[in-house]
Amino acid sequence: MLKHLLWTECASSTNDLIKKYPANSVLIAGIQTKGRGRQGRDWLSVKGGLYFTYKKPLNCFLENLQGGFCAITIGAACHKALTMPNKPVQKLYLKWPNDLLNDKLEKIAGILIEVSQQNYLIGIGLNCGSNPEFANYQSLYSNLYLAKLIINQIDLFAQKPKADIIEYWEKHTHHKKNTQIKAHLPNGSLIEGKFKFLGQNGELWLQATADNKLISLESGILQD
Ligand code: BTN
């Protein structure tokens, strides 16, 4: 459970700066000068967005945070926090493994999960400034409040039965069964196929276009 809530006006990356703080801390930054995305990409972190990292010990014994399923759990928890009743973001979709898309299918949030010194560093970035729904939201609540809402849902989702999380993800994903998807893999290759289902470990199952074989992806970035 959350112990320390820290705020700084500027960080290189909250995923880096959090390393000097104890486990169960959350660090929020007003801007980041070296914000990082998945697969070595940059994450533009200008004023107005929400950028924070939640540091959780690896040995928290929460099955939902183990391996690839962690990304699914965190994505689903963020989705829940941002779409709860009376929240202005009502249409939000999950894109594998844990991006959040608005109703125009534009990415409005991304999550970078890293492991350092026996801790998960769960980094979350929300493009509040560029999204009118969030601008609306921010006039009502502070970024601090929004971060607390998300952290609260992460702690709740971490304890839910795994089946409930898969059901939640499948209900709120924009991926439709048998639709074509392309994935950029960490080794630089591109794979194409039909989306089939989300596996028990958070992996994405596809039927490959090249040979019709059923294959699973553990990580990757799906092309829009
Ligand atoms: C992605 O979709 O590629 C993941 C983006 C993650 C961005 C967040 S912002 C807070 C934390 N600090 C970083 O440098 N990155 C993550």
| CATH label of the domain that carries residue 136 | 3.30.930.10
Q: What's the domain range around 187? A: 180-222
Q: State the pLDDT at residue 78.
A: 96
Say yes or no: 121 and 155 in one domain: yes
The encoded tokens of residue 20 equal 């000097």
Q: Which atom of ligand 1 is nearest to the CA of 36?
A: 14
Alpha carbon distances (Å) from 179 to 46, 135, 204: 34, 33, 13
Alpha carbon distances (Å) from 163 to 99, 142, 157, 170: 20, 33, 11, 11
Task: Give the residue-averaged pLDDT of 15-41.
Answer: 95
Measure the CA–CA gap between 211 and 200, rounded to whole angstroms: 24
Contacts of 21 by beta carbon, 8 Å cutoff, 6+ apart: 4, 6, 27, 55
The domain tally of the chain equals 2
Q: State the pLDDT at residue 143.
A: 81
Give tens-digit pLDDT for 80-130: 999 987 665 768 999 999 999 988 888 999 999 999 999 999 999 998 766
Cβ of 36 less than 6 Å from ligand 1: yes
Sign of the C-alpha dihedral, residues 169, 171, 174, 175?
positive
Say yes or no: 167 and 206 in one domain: no
Cβ of 102 less than 6 Å from ligand 1: no
Give tens-digit pLDDT for 175-209: 999 999 999 998 989 999 999 999 999 999 999 99
Domain boundary among 137, 153, 172: 172
Say yes or no: 29 and 136 in one domain: yes
Q: Which atom of ligand 1 is nearest to the CA of 49?
A: 9
Instruction: Name residue 181's amino acid.
Output: I
Say yes or no: 118 and 192 in one domain: no
Q: Please choose from 15, 18, 114, 223 the residue to mutate so as to test ligand 1's pocket, defined by most ligand atoms within 8 A of CB.
A: 15
The bridge status of strand 25-32 relative to strand 4-11 is parallel
Distance 109 CA to ligand 1 centre (A): 9
Q: Does the model's pTM come out above 0.85?
A: yes
Q: State the pLDDT at residue 19.
A: 97
Distance 30 CA to ligand 1 centre (A): 13
Cβ of 123 less than 6 Å from ligand 1: yes
* 117 Ramachandran zone, left/alpha/beta (phi>0; psi -120 to 50): left
Domain boundary among 156, 172, 188: 172
Task: Give the residue-averaged pLDDT of 71-78.
Answer: 96
Task: Give the residue-averaged pLDDT of 15-25.
Answer: 96
φ, ψ at 70 (rounded to 5°): -55, -45
Say yes or no: 140 and 78 in one domain: yes
Say yes or no: 80 and 161 in one domain: yes
Cβ of 37 less than 6 Å from ligand 1: yes
Say yes or no: 159 and 205 in one domain: no
